[in-house]
Amino acid sequence: MIINLIDEGSRQPKYLQLVDTVRQAIRKGQLLAGDSLPSVRELSHNLHLNRHTVMKAFAELIAEGWIESKERVGYRVVTTLPVDSSYLAAVGDQSKTPPRKIEYRFVKAVSHQLAYSDSDYQYDFSGGRPDTALFPFAEFKSHMSDVLSRPDVRQLGYGESEGTPELIAEVKRYLRKARAIIDRDIVITNGSQEAIYIVAQLLLHAGDEVAVEALGYPPAMAAFASAGADLVAIQQDKNGIVPDDLVAKIQQGNIRLIYLTPLHQYPTTVTLTVSRRMAIYQLAATHGIPIIEDDYDHEFHYRCQPLAPMASQDPQQLVIYLSTFSKIMFPGTRIGFMALSASMAEAVKNYRVLINHKSNVFMQSALARWMKEGGFERHIRRTTRINQQRRDHAIAMLHEMDCFEFDTPDGGMALWLKIKKPTVSAAALAQQAQKIGIYIQHEGAYHLVAGDNQDCFIRVGFAGMNKADFSLGMRLLAALL
């Protein structure tokens, strides 16, 4: 076979050009396993290359495993190429025979579309979106800059999968002070979603049942389903999930885990009453069923102090408490935390290593400093006040518009609105709104049992934009009605 350099004008060193030429010849099947290569002398003569250049190329090809040097034979293509020449020809020259692409067998694919891009809606009423314009970036930057200027090099490795000690200490202190949670171990996670996923993997066998709110948070449901669990919808009303229905479902089936959003039920915004919390806790304790308490926007409570989490009165340590910085800061922070019994914390800490070892150390350290210095609580006080004003503004405006029936939520970042006009479909409204740059959520996305969908509720966030924008967007939405 005649070997020519691929590209005379290339700026690559000559020896690498020769390496490429030989590699490609082998890939294309022009050189087969065991074929002899021209001698160094011959090649250097033909290609006008220095002998050293050719020898350097051959040495590289030997190191990569393409050719070998045999005494008295010279250089030849290795005899142990793992694939036959027709295959090499197919993959080597894609212009002639495009290779057939593999069809992957997805055994754990998520059945519906959960991933999305953050589209640029002019009016984005998604209920879980905080207003990033309120975030004190300059203040946070000084902490991040500090952390980068004087990094604690001991923390830059794979260790401490439970989180950096400073952030754990700050979260512990904050939980004790603001949420009355005292006797738990803290594990920092990449948002609550990672926490939900880990718990699902740790506690569920295929075929186990998980009790979830009948209208619920799709990413959590998908995480349980991906662990092989069957989801069981628990009825809910204006006071949250109905304990009697939970009793019935526990007696009928094989419920191994309960998932709740007790403070601001997702998506209906209802607060689970104290008496129901106690009833549910007693039930879970009697049957030995752990409860995931997903407390994702705890501080944003306006009618009174937020109810203390179920995890704060949990002598049996059956509550797996999760929370997040996604609403106080922004979702891209990807920092959440769990408050757990010692045995659960140990299991979670070990399981994390399988996924991603730990959370970003610089973000953890900057956050810990921001918390220690008081900026975090200042920001919470400010955003809670602003969110309350935004909620009140939204309520006043919606009363005036008179297109929806609704209860004023005690807290949270969103409203759950029933369209008054019986002929209007919530799903169709969301679709029409999207066409004019407005994002709203509709009830069809949240029902575990599709047949329960009345198609008349929408979820409208009020925290993600200022009052003026909320009014403008709402008027456009009302015009569609």
Q: Which is nearer to ligand PLP, 92 or 127 (CB)?
A: 127
Q: Which stretch binds ligand PLP (CB under 6 A): 141-149, 176-184, 191-199, 205-213?
A: 191-199
CB of 358 to ligand PLP, least distance (A): 16
240 binds ligand PLP (CB under 6 A): no
d(CA 134, CA 114): 27
* Closest of 182, 414, 394, 180 to residue 306, by C-alpha: 180
Residues 6+ positions from 76 with CB-CB distance below 8 Å: 34, 35, 36, 37, 67, 68, 70
Cα torsion 219, 220, 222, 223 to 10°: value is 120
262 binds ligand PLP (CB under 6 A): no
CB of 129 to ligand PLP, least distance (A): 8
Q: Which helix (H) or strand (E) holds 111?
A: none
Amino acid, res. 368 = A
Q: How far is CA 118 from the centre of its chain?
A: 13
Q: Which is nearer to ligand PLP, 143 or 298 (CB)?
A: 298
b/e 319-344 (16+ beta carbons within 10 angstroms → b): bbbbbbbbbbbebebbbbbbbbbeeb
Residue 470's alpha-carbon distances to 52, 101, 120, 398, in angstroms, are 73, 48, 16, 11
Residue pair 132/463 in contact (Cβ under 8 Å)? The answer is no
Which sign does the torsion angle of CA 451, 281, 201, 252 carry? negative
Q: Which stretch binds ligand PLP (CB under 6 A): 7-15, 142-150, 190-198, 275-283?
A: 190-198
* Closest of 100, 72, 71, 75 to residue 25, by C-alpha: 75
Residues 122-141 that bind ligand PLP (CB under 6 A): 128
Q: Which stretch binds ligand PLP (CB under 6 A): 44-52, 82-90, 324-332, 442-450?
A: 324-332
d(CA 347, CA 202): 8
CB of 194 to ligand PLP, least distance (A): 7
Residues 6+ positions from 410 with CB-CB distance below 8 Å: 264, 271, 301, 302, 303, 304
461 binds ligand PLP (CB under 6 A): no
Residue from 30, 326, 365, 387 touching ligand PLP (CB under 6 A): that is 326
331 binds ligand PLP (CB under 6 A): yes
296 binds ligand PLP (CB under 6 A): yes
299 binds ligand PLP (CB under 6 A): no
User: Where would I find the beta strands (DSSP E) of 112-254?
Assistant: 123-124, 185-189, 209-213, 230-234, 236-237, 240-241
Classify residue 358 as exposed, middle or buried by CB count within 10 Å of its CB (0-12, 13-18, 19+): buried
446 binds ligand PLP (CB under 6 A): no
Task: Compute how many residues bind ligand PLP; rule: CB under 6 A.
Answer: 13
d(CA 198, CA 192): 10
Q: Which is nearer to ligand PLP, 88 or 232 (CB)?
A: 232
Site track for ligand PLP across 194-233, x = CB under 6 A: -----------------------x----------------
Q: Which is nearer to ligand PLP, 309 or 336 (CB)?
A: 336
CB of 192 to ligand PLP, least distance (A): 4
Residue from 17, 261, 269, 383 touching ligand PLP (CB under 6 A): that is 261
294 binds ligand PLP (CB under 6 A): yes
Residue from 44, 193, 383, 387 touching ligand PLP (CB under 6 A): that is 193
58 binds ligand PLP (CB under 6 A): no
Q: Which is nearer to ligand PLP, 57 or 443 (CB)?
A: 443
CB of 65 to ligand PLP, least distance (A): 44
Q: Which is nearer to ligand PLP, 30 or 189 (CB)?
A: 189
438: three-class secondary structure by DSSP? strand
CB of 199 to ligand PLP, least distance (A): 13
Classify residue 53 as exposed, middle or buried by CB count within 10 Å of its CB (0-12, 13-18, 19+): buried
192 binds ligand PLP (CB under 6 A): yes
Q: Which stretch binds ligand PLP (CB under 6 A): 177-185, 187-195, 281-289, 459-467?
A: 187-195
What's the token pair of residue 355? 């996924």
Residue from 130, 163, 191, 240 touching ligand PLP (CB under 6 A): that is 191
What is the DSSP secondary structure assignment for residue 232, as one 8-state letter? E
Which residues form the interface with ligand PLP (CB under 6 A)?
A: 128, 191-193, 217, 261, 266, 294, 296, 324, 326, 331, 336
